[in-house]
Structure 1
Amino acid sequence: MFKVKSLTLRVLLFATLWYVIALVTMALVISALYRTGAERSFNDLLRAQLYNVVNSVSVGDGESLVGSPALGDLRFSQPGTGWYWLVEPLGSFNAAPLASTSLGLTNLPVPSFEESPFDQNYERFYGMTDSFGNRLRVAETEVILDESGRAARFRVSGNLKVVEDEITAFSRRLYAVLVAFGFGGLLVNAVTVVLGLKPLDRARRALERIRGGEAEKIEGEFPREIEPLANEINALIESNRRIVERARMQVGNLAHSLKTPIAVLLNEARAVHAPHDEVIKVQASAMQSQVSSYLNRARIAAQRDSILSRTEVEPVLERLVRVMRKLNPEKQFELHMEGTGLTLAMESQDFEETLGNLLENAARYSEHLVTVTARLAPAGEVGVDPSRKAWLEIIVEDDGPGLAPDQIGEALKRGRRLDESKPGTGLGLSIVKEITSEYQGKLGLSRGVSGGLLARLVLPAVSRDIA
């Protein structure tokens, strides 16, 4: 089912739907009422003409019908117009019928009383079609003409095209007015909705500035309905800030409290004679490594997805590349930034440690060249959580010997060194993998175009489209 995410668009769609339904309903109701009124007026006109004929016709000498109704309408004298009057004797009254000039030699059929009965005024109205194809409305009554009881049927018909043309003309004018009114109402409604929801848009932009690191809280004045929401968000941000600071302080205190005992163990291990010294050294070093790893995880977990964790990518990469050039003057380092203003949703020190390990590893095994490329990539392209809109892809490639597919898994294990001739602890890539995983990112190793190792790092970025 299609869902509209924009509140403004949603309100406008519902308002438009209501306007359309209301206007269509109004048009149908008004048209129906006008048609009823027009048909009633038409019946009244036919009734008036009917009794005009009744008053104009009588029984003359020789028991014949005489009279010349003056209805004041030329259509009763023009053939085929659908406007006719007809007087027919009833019962034993054998006089010749009287008819309007427009009827000519034709006749109008008489429906049965079951099909169209008389009302309490001894009148009836019914429809029919004449020989010219005109749709007629007929008014009929029966009247006793004299004291002898001689009676006649009086009928007057009118062409319904008059009523239909009048209703059509009225409907066109009505629809034009309602359409103009509808567009005007929708325009006014749209302006009202946009202006009414503008404070929400300001609140959204304020949140964008917070997520972008441009502000620390929602600022500005808001209507009474939105102000509590802004205050609650500010309170949540402040609470989050205190939680992060408290987590940092606790992690630091724990690190300091463990650093001294571990250092004592390592010093005492040097005084212990073989073969126990090596065992103590290995275990104490492992303890130190595990403590450091889990402290980093706790710190990252406290900061992950926090609006306070923001790092500008380009300055950090330029600084790291500059340091690597000084440390490795015999090798070339190239930095390619695809886009400007790239920002990571992670701590600067975690990003520096991650990229620093990758660059150190690339510099150690490269022959001459190390290339670093950074760009924004949608989640669908990098194979990570699609709920986050933006991810940063960083590729570090060297021209060294590279790794075989079966060596890649071993290289990511903590403490494993595939080349014992090179200096190092074997912790670099495993640290990169751990930090990346804590930020719900991804680290991939493969063979590059030049044959060396290609490290593809995916980290959460601050989306440029936060709405």
Structure 2
Amino acid sequence: MLFQQAAIKRFDQGLAELIDNLTAGTTIDEKAEILAPALTDLRALRAYSGKYWQISEPVNGVLKSRVRSRSLWDSELKTPPDLALRLAADPGKPIFYDTRGPLNEPLRAMATRAELPGGKAPVVFMAAEDRSPVDRDIRNFVTATALAFLLLGVGMVAAVVIQVRVGLTPLFALRHEVAYVRRGKRERIEGAYPTELKPLADELNALMAHNQEVVERQRTHVGNLAHALKTPLSVMLAESQAQPGPLAEVVTRQSEAMRQQVDHHLRRARAAARTQGSGERTSVADVLDELSRTLERIFQDKGVTIDWDAEDDLYFLGERQDLLELAGNAMENASKWCKSRVRVRTEVISPERLRLSVEDDGPGLTPEEREAAIQRGARLDESAPGSGLGLNIIDELARAYGGSLTLAQARLGGLAVILELPRAEA
């Protein structure tokens, strides 16, 4: 905008010089004819050259051409309709305006009103010049400036991106280290960091060590509580069995119920404590292989065959004992109720989740029975051995890890136990 104003101002100065030359050299002869001076600018002599001048007289508010440059040939300068009135309102003040030339080229024009010695009426001096070169220079300047600013902006953005990427590289590395610890790949942050970040890394390591200490303390308390409760219960059961009778039966039954309650809640407390640990991971394939061999030997008289499949690089984000309890309860339950076949499949749901499904070819359960089977202590068949806590233990432990348990109809015809559990990266 400033460049455009400056260019137009210089252009207007050239028009003003031409008007001054016309005003200074124009005279009136004895016949009251206007005589224009002989100007030295050759463009004013060449037809349609782009530089024009004209001397007019206002007649009834309309400008009538009296003398014009040879470059106009048989044309006249186009003027705004109110130009004569505007000049009359402020004599001596130049008026600049844009118009069109004989070849319809854009013109920049100037008009001023003056009195000539010996003249009976004022005259209007007008000069105009093709402004296409100026407009072209303005466009070129705007284009070059816009391109320069664009390149400058791109360069600044690139510089900021590079500075952020290079300057924050240690912070990104620290984030990855924390993620590795959370996923169980590392036990602590071990990278070398700048002076500004080293205190943060040390504090994170201290926080993880403190959390691990709290977890270990919780485990110790849970174990102490288990011993403290189980010993009196064992004494009560032994005494009740040694002295049979109605009271002994009540004591035995309630003591067994208390033992089941203690086992259930202690197991849940241990699982909750373990899930707050440092992110230990367990190979799913190793656990399934161990369980399959064990259960096939236990149920060899029944001829149970366990078909399992799991990728070697699939890991459970948790302790091995918990996965043994989760998968072991489900597979033992399937082996107990199947006819002869148990199928175990694993599937990766997302980078953070895995699915473990255990199916059997047994009688299965109705939707109502599936809902009841998860309830603590529920036994759908009182003739079968067991406490009725198997599926409930799986449900409680899975939820402690942020997972879930679902019972469905198996494709083999029996029951399908579907577990969604946290997954650790390989």
The TM-score, its normalising length taken from structure 2, stands at 0.87
- Two-structure CA RMSD over aligned residues (Å): 2.9
Does structure 1 retain, via aligned residues, the 8 Å contact 2:222–2:270? yes
- Residue pairs, 1:216-365, within 5 angstroms: 216-329=187-300, 330-337=303-310, 339-365=311-337
Does structure 2 retain, via aligned residues, the 8 Å contact 1:332–1:369? yes
Of 66, 73, 78, the match for 1:97: 66
Corresponding residue for residue 87 of structure 1 = 55
**Inter-partner Cα distance in structure 2 for 1:410 and 1:89:** 111
For each residue in 1:259-311, what CA deviation from the matched residue of structure 2 results, as whole angstroms up to 9, or x when unmatched?
Answer: 21111111111112222222111111111111121112222222325433433
Q: 1:149 to 1:116 in 2, by over 3 A?
A: closer
**Inter-partner Cα distance in structure 1 for 2:394 and 2:68:** 109
**Inter-partner Cα distance in structure 1 for 2:88 and 2:10:** 21
The residue type paired with residue 269 of structure 1 is: S
For each residue in 1:114-151, what CA deviation from the matched residue of structure 2 results, as whole angstroms up to 9, or x when unmatched?
Answer: 64688897333223334643332222234444478885
Of 143, 157, 161, the match for 2:132: 161
Of 9, 12, 21, the match for 1:40: 9
Displacement, 1:43? 0.6
Does structure 2 retain, via aligned residues, the 8 Å contact 1:123–1:139? yes
Q: 1:113 to 1:307 in 2, by over 3 A?
A: farther
**Inter-partner Cα distance in structure 2 for 1:133 and 1:47:** 23
Displacement, 1:237? 1.2
Corresponding residue for residue 431 of structure 1 = 393
- Residue pairs, 1:172-183, within 5 angstroms: 172-183=143-154
Q: 1:90 to 1:434 in 2, by over 3 A?
A: closer
- Residue pairs, 1:16-165, within 5 angstroms: 32-60=1-29, 62-74=31-43, 76-88=44-56, 97-108=66-77, 109=79, 111-112=82-83, 115=86, 122-130=93-101, 132-146=103-117, 152-165=123-136
Corresponding residue for residue 375 of structure 2 = 413
For each residue in 1:196-237, what CA deviation from the matched residue of structure 2 results, as whole angstroms up to 9, or x when unmatched?
Answer: 221221012101210222222222233455444433322321
Displacement, 1:328? 3.0
| Greater Cα shift, 82-91 or 438-447 | 82-91
The residue type paired with residue 372 of structure 2 is: E
**Inter-partner Cα distance in structure 1 for 2:109 and 2:267:** 98
Secondary structure at the aligned position of 2:261 is classed as helix
| Greater Cα shift, 420-429 or 354-363 | 420-429
**Inter-partner Cα distance in structure 1 for 2:186 and 2:88:** 85
For each residue in 1:345-364, what CA deviation from the matched residue of structure 2 results, as whole angstroms up to 9, or x when unmatched?
Answer: 33322221121111111111
Q: Aligned pairs, how many?
A: 418
The residue type paired with residue 399 of structure 2 is: S
- What are the ranges of 5 or more consecutive residues in structure 2 without an aligned counterpart? none
- What are the ranges of 5 or more consecutive residues in structure 1 without an aligned counterpart? 1-31, 379-388
Secondary structure at the aligned position of 1:423 is classed as coil
Does structure 1 retain, via aligned residues, the 8 Å contact 2:331–2:358? yes
